Structure 1
């Protein structure tokens, strides 16, 4: 069976490698001159910066992405992160860290609540294991249950780091799926070699299985005949296929087959496309001679103005920086109304870092923004429309079609696993 994959990002290469291992004839078409998309390395001043996602798997070596990589047989080593911590002011209610702070364990977040609210949260967590809340946002649910400013700040920090959203934009049921996965699979981990370590390993599997990867070749059209996918057009040449998997998200995929999608029978799908909203964010990469965090997990920062989460990847893989240097990556959510004011958003993030790391010396290596056609996610978490399309044999994977309860790349892996299961039966 012939399968064509559009886009050599993480979702595309995972799909191609899995199908190639299953015996499919696979070809991947990528418009850029390199593979990986927003999941590869950028060599800058000897530092291995990431093109998009952190050099981190949110569920580490036990999560959906690690399991799929193992199933594929890709040679990737993932180091489990030591801990996830939360930086809070010494006195509750302060809005900055300049006058002192402490780091607490992620699991100890209820410690800043009153005894009564701690008991209530504990009971709610137990009860929601069986009866998931639904029909509201995380923030609205928190305020209805425990109206505490700290809990909202913590939720915003976690959602900003994990999903590039605020807690009032995330369906509460999605968050409980995410939390369930965190307990099921474990905390984060870092792949040796960073994002590119995974991309290179997937390419090796595809090529060893007889698959082909074409870079610098853009797909301009998806061919559909009688409601079934028939192939693609790339660089003015037709390529026939039984299966086509797009890593471009539903909206861009629809544009490639817009002639047949214009029929009335596809109106529901077209209406769904209009509801999709990408999420935006900013990443600030720092270089330092001394550790800024001191552990390989995530540092959440609920009391900053913009920065949500920070990770010091060289604590797990020192080779991601020159000898004796540390690489620290900081992420901040960008609200839709602030995308036009990115310079101001960046400055607030830089000001945050001065307070988060008072007295520390570091160099700002690179500032990267993700929005519009190059977003954090093509579909905001909790609104992913699934992997199927109106056409038989045409599927969508990647950050525009993640699996339920999957943080970022873990969601990409869940979506790919679901898609491949449908194809292989």
Structure 2
């Protein structure tokens, strides 16, 4: 059996590794000169910056990605982060970091609420473990259940960090699926070698099983025979296959076979694709001689103007920075109405960092933005169309086709695992 994978991002390489291990003859075609897409390393001034995703796995060594890597035989060491914290002002209700702040454990965030609301949260979590609320956004649900604005800020910070969305954009049922996965898999962890450590390990599995990865090679069309995916066209040359996996997202994949989809029975699928909204974000990379965050977990910042969360991975893997340096990275969600004004959004993020780390010395290494055709996610969490397409033998994987309740690369992996179950049984 032959399989073709379009795109050598994380979703494509996970799929290729699993198929090659199952005995498929696999070819991966990538238009860029590098592999990994938004999940690899960029060498800059001696630092290993990430091309997109942070050097962190939301569920660490026990999550879906770690389990999948183990299943395919990819040799990656993942170290559990020691702590995740929330930075809040010393004076409850104050929006001014300059008046002082403190870090509290992520698990203790409810201590900022009244005793009544803390009890209500505990009861709601227990009562909704099996019957999740539906039909509203997370923010609307919070405002219905509670009167504390702190919870909205906390939800915005968490959703901005984990999903590049505001809490009023996230379906409440998706958040409860995420909470379930947090209970099931635990907190974040860092892969040694960063994102590229994962990519290199997957490439080794693919090539060891006889697969080939072709860079600087762009697919121009998906070929069909008798209504089924049968290969791809590259230039004037046709490459035949029994199975085609696309890591390009649903919209770009549909463009490669639009004529085949432009029939009445597929009109609903195409209408669904027109509603998809990619999520945008900004990452600011900092260099410092002394730790800024002070631990290897995530620092959530609910009272900042724009920054949602920050991590400092060099506590686990010092080789991601030059000797004696720390690599600190912040992430901020960019609302659709602000994408055209990224310079202003970046300036607000830089102001946040000055207030979050007062009297700290650091250098801004690089500022990266992710939007339009190079977004954080090609489809917002909880809204993607799944992995199947109307064309038999053609599947979509990646950040636009995640599994329910999966944060970033964990959700991407859940989508790949679901696809592989359909293909391999």
Q: How does 1:183-332 map to 2 (within 5 A)?
A: 183-332=183-332
Matching residue of 1:71: 71
Matching residue of 1:52: 52
Q: How does 1:331-346 map to 2 (within 5 A)?
A: 331-346=331-346
Q: Superposition RMSD on alpha carbons, in Å?
A: 0.6
The separation in 1 between residues aligned to 2:226 and 2:233, in whole angstroms, is 17
Q: How does 1:11-410 map to 2 (within 5 A)?
A: 11-410=11-410
State the shift of 1:226 in Å: 2.0
The separation in 2 between residues aligned to 1:295 and 1:191, in whole angstroms, is 15
Q: List runs of 5+ in structure 2 lacking aligned partners.
A: none
Runs of 4+ in 1 over 4 A off after TM superposition: none
- Preserved contact between residue 286 and residue 366 of structure 1 (Cα < 8 Å): yes
- With the length of structure 2 as denominator, give the TM-score of the two structures: 0.99
State the shift of 1:99 in Å: 1.4
- Preserved contact between residue 17 and residue 205 of structure 1 (Cα < 8 Å): yes
- Preserved contact between residue 217 and residue 235 of structure 1 (Cα < 8 Å): no
The separation in 1 between residues aligned to 2:144 and 2:236, in whole angstroms, is 57
The separation in 2 between residues aligned to 1:96 and 1:180, in whole angstroms, is 33
The separation in 2 between residues aligned to 1:199 and 1:267, in whole angstroms, is 36
State the shift of 1:180 in Å: 0.8
The separation in 1 between residues aligned to 2:331 and 2:345, in whole angstroms, is 12
For residue 86 of structure 1, give the secondary structure of its aligned residue in structure 2: strand
State the shift of 1:93 in Å: 1.2
The separation in 1 between residues aligned to 2:51 and 2:354, in whole angstroms, is 24
State the shift of 1:264 in Å: 1.5
The separation in 1 between residues aligned to 2:41 and 2:98, in whole angstroms, is 34
For residue 98 of structure 1, give the secondary structure of its aligned residue in structure 2: helix
Matching residue of 2:422: 422
What does the per-residue CA deviation read over 1:288-332, in whole Å, with 9 as the maximum and x for residues that have no partner?
A: 000001100000000000000000010110000000000001000
State the shift of 1:224 in Å: 1.4
State the shift of 1:236 in Å: 2.3
The separation in 2 between residues aligned to 1:139 and 1:369, in whole angstroms, is 26
The separation in 2 between residues aligned to 1:421 and 1:34, in whole angstroms, is 28
State the shift of 1:235 in Å: 2.7
The separation in 2 between residues aligned to 1:261 and 1:212, in whole angstroms, is 29
The separation in 2 between residues aligned to 1:229 and 1:244, in whole angstroms, is 6
State the shift of 1:131 in Å: 1.4
Size of the aligned set, in residue pairs, is: 425
For residue 361 of structure 1, give the secondary structure of its aligned residue in structure 2: coil
The separation in 1 between residues aligned to 2:130 and 2:403, in whole angstroms, is 20
What does the per-residue CA deviation read over 1:158-191, in whole Å, with 9 as the maximum and x for residues that have no partner?
A: 0000000000000000001111101110100000
State the shift of 1:25 in Å: 0.4
What does the per-residue CA deviation read over 1:316-373, in whole Å, with 9 as the maximum and x for residues that have no partner?
A: 1000000000000100000000000000000000000000000000000000000000
Query: Which segment drifts farther, 13-22 or 88-97?
Result: 88-97
For residue 123 of structure 1, give the secondary structure of its aligned residue in structure 2: helix
- With the length of structure 1 as denominator, give the TM-score of the two structures: 0.99
State the shift of 1:414 in Å: 0.3
State the shift of 1:262 in Å: 1.2
